[in-house]
Chains A and B, each alone.
Chain A
Amino acid sequence: MNLSLSLLSDQFLLNFSYLWLIVIATTIGIIIGAMPGFGSANTIIMLLPFTLAVDVEVAMIFMVSLFVASHMGGGITSILLNIPGNGGSAATCLDGYPMARKGLGQQALVLSFVASTVGGMVTALMSIFLLPYIARLAFYMHSVEMVVILLFGITLIASVASDNMLKGLIAGFLGLLIGAIGADHIYSTPRGTFGFIELYDGVPLIAVLIGVFAISEALIMMESSSVLSDTGKQMMRQSGWKETWEGVVWSFQRTWHMIWTGIIGLIIGIVPGAGASIAAFVAYQQSRLYSKTPEKYGTGIPEGVIAPESANNGCASGDLIPLLVIGVPGGTTAAVMLIVMTYHGVQLGPRLFIQNPGIGYGVFITMLIAYAVMLFTTLPLTRWVSKLVLIPTPVLAPIIIAFTLVGAFAPRGYMFDLWLTLLFGAIGYVCRRTGFNVVALLIGVILGPMLEANVMRALRISGNDPWVFFSSPVGNILWAALAVSLAIPSIVQWRRNRAAARTATA
């Protein structure tokens, strides 16, 4: 593959000449990302006439900037309102919202922006230099490996439910069962659909997301006149540039954390079909498992914001690698990009790097510049954006409901989805009031269908031999990693208990 300094510098110059376009695209991307239900894929589809009318380089700069910005934007509402803009930012709610409630919304936003930028930039740089090698990973990721990766995500149910494990597991398995609604992956026979044809494709994730997060959160909000505690309100009113700078310092004190969780996102992003939501949940879970203070996760700590945000932006780089190197899109937006590139006559796959290396490497150069642009445009805004939480809840809650319902309708255009959203809103409300973790429920709904599809595919290919799950070297390495990641916290806890017992007897 023809990677040279002159090629990279040419791409930098090209991108700089379209800086105005990157600014526009990132602004649209951040706004779209912050709105539940409006994904980057839908936006690119809506702007398809533009991307088809301009040169392929310009179209790619626009699409890539919009794509990466949407990953960053999703964290804004997760932190301020406990409503994720997309599945990838659902894990950000776990610590981002508690931080906002304490009056640390501005710092949490900065953490999210810096982690997104660092995670995205590091993984984009890695992608440029390791592209040929990283891309080979995609060839080794089949159903068996996907099963283990998904299990990594599902173990998070136990983590988030640590307050009340039994209730958390009930919510998680209910989510998995809800995720099993719809036509099965082999015979396409409907299961548990109550006869509704709208459920044959499965329960729409956006309806669940908006219902259990936005609607139920809006109902819960009514218990006080503000989402902030009294101290939080006072802190938020007085917050200024000092808090922005504090967020930057907190972020860079955790540079290594941003890097390794970004790499988790990159690796998961490379696997076709595994999206930002899995990357964010797995990164959060791994971050918690290797933390010295895992009990603080969920109470509003910087690491809990950094891990998912860095990972879902790392996933954005990973999503594009199989698209460019083997012509297989890693996600929905990458699939739309494939269509645009094919329309422009660009041949994807290994030939791309021989015939048109500028486009191949240019994608990651665009990502680097888009992240830099986003950081410089969003950081000064955090001071004002974070004030959103100062709006009284009797005003905020109806606005949230009115506008998120549009998001529930937009992806499929069914009125049915609005009713489903209200149903999940009621379920989410009951869950929250009675201590059943809604994140565990959501993880089940997101990962359940994927796990089932991959388990069935692996079994089909192997002639129903269960040993297939231990038949691949990469899969076995992942199994070992899963076992180690589950065992380490128990070992650490056991050692701590033993040390405490020794101290007590001494």
Chain B
Amino acid sequence: MNDDRKAKVATGADWIIPVLGAIFATYYLISIKDLDWEAKVSGVFCAVMLFGLIGIFALRTAIGLLRGTHYLEFRSLYESHRLAVLRGSLFALTVTSVAVIPWAGFTLSTFGFLFACFLWLQRMSVRAAAITAGALALGGYVLFILILRTSFPQGPFESLVSTLTGL
């Protein structure tokens, strides 16, 4: 990035939240249009304020772009390709882990998630990753399932332990 750009305000990625906010506020207003005023007054107030603020934000950005004090970019969202891949992988692994919980249960899904993360993100050896992830998943099982009795969906591991030990 050259010195000329450093002095300017980057805009583009910071439009994601206002756009999401505007879409949600529009949906919210539509969802409450037939309700009594008491049920919608608070939402209408917040939505109108949000639209007003987004309007000011838009105006400020537009003036900045016209004057040349702002420039469009989306890089601030992911910084670099390497970081984008790392973060994307971590988030994708988290989504996969949540998706398999109903079948795999807490212990196996946690083990799989941690094992994959340690291998991929920390570049641990397979053995070290398996031992660390296994110890953490087992610790989590003892703490959350056995002691705190969290009602996570039961997987093959929990069913097996339950059958063998009656816990």
Contact = CB atoms under 8 A, between A and B. Distances in A.
Contact of A430 (B16, B27, B35, B39): B16
A398 B118 contact: yes
How many residues of B sit at the interface, in one of the four size bands? Answer: 35 or more
A460 B97 CA distance: 47
Highest count of chain B CB atoms <10 Å: which of A180, A193, A413 = A180
A395 B122 contact: yes
B47 A177 contact: yes
Interface string B128-167: 0000100010001000100011111100000000000000
14 contacts: A43-B148, A166-B56, A166-B60, A173-B21, A173-B46, A190-B31, A222-B83, A222-B87, A394-B118, A402-B136, A405-B97, A409-B152, A422-B95, A425-B94
Contact of B121 (A397, A402, A455): A397
Contacts of A178: 24
A184 B121 contact: no
Nearest to B137: A402
Contacts of A451: 42
A435 B114 contact: no
Contacts of A427: 17, 20
A186 B17 CA distance: 31
Given A174-B24, A422-B95, A187 B113 contact: no
A210 B46 CA distance: 24
Given A189-B35, A191-B39, A218-B90, A173 B49 contact: yes
Contacts of B49: 173
B117 interface: yes
B94 to A, nearest CB: 5
Interface of A: 38, 43, 46, 166-167, 169-171, 173-174, 176-178, 180-181, 184, 186-187, 189-194, 215, 218-219, 222-223, 392, 394-395, 397-399, 401-403, 405-406, 409-410, 413, 415, 418-419, 422, 425-427, 429-431, 433-436, 448, 451-452, 455-456, 459-460
Nearest to B84: A222
Given A170-B18, A418-B101, 6 more contacts: A215-B94, A395-B121, A398-B117, A402-B110, A430-B13, A430-B77
B8 to A, nearest CB: 15
**Main secondary structure on chain B at its contact with chain A?**
helix
B122 A394 contact: yes
B94 A401 contact: yes
Report the 5 A-B pairs with minimum CB-CB distance, sorted nearest first. Answer: A398-B117, A184-B39, A394-B121, A434-B14, A394-B122
Contacts of B25: 177
Contacts, number: 176
A425 B77 CA distance: 14
Contacts of B121: 222, 394-395, 397-398
Contact of B90 (A184, A187, A222): A222
A403 B86 contact: no
Highest count of chain B CB atoms <10 Å: which of A223, A398, A451 = A398
Interface in B99-133: 101-102, 106, 110, 113-114, 117-118, 121-122, 132
Contacts of A406: 106, 140, 144, 150, 152
A173 B17 CA distance: 12
B88 to A, nearest CB: 9
A177 B98 contact: no
A402 B39 contact: no
Nearest to B39: A184
Contacts of A176: 46
A413 B53 CA distance: 37
A135 B129 CA distance: 56
Nearest to B113: A402
Nearest to B53: A170
B39 A187 contact: yes
B10 to A, nearest CB: 9
A456 B35 CA distance: 15
Contacts of B150: 406, 409-410
B87 A191 contact: no
B129 to A, nearest CB: 10
Contacts of B114: 398-399, 402
A222 B78 CA distance: 11
Nearest to B123: A394
B139 to A, nearest CB: 9
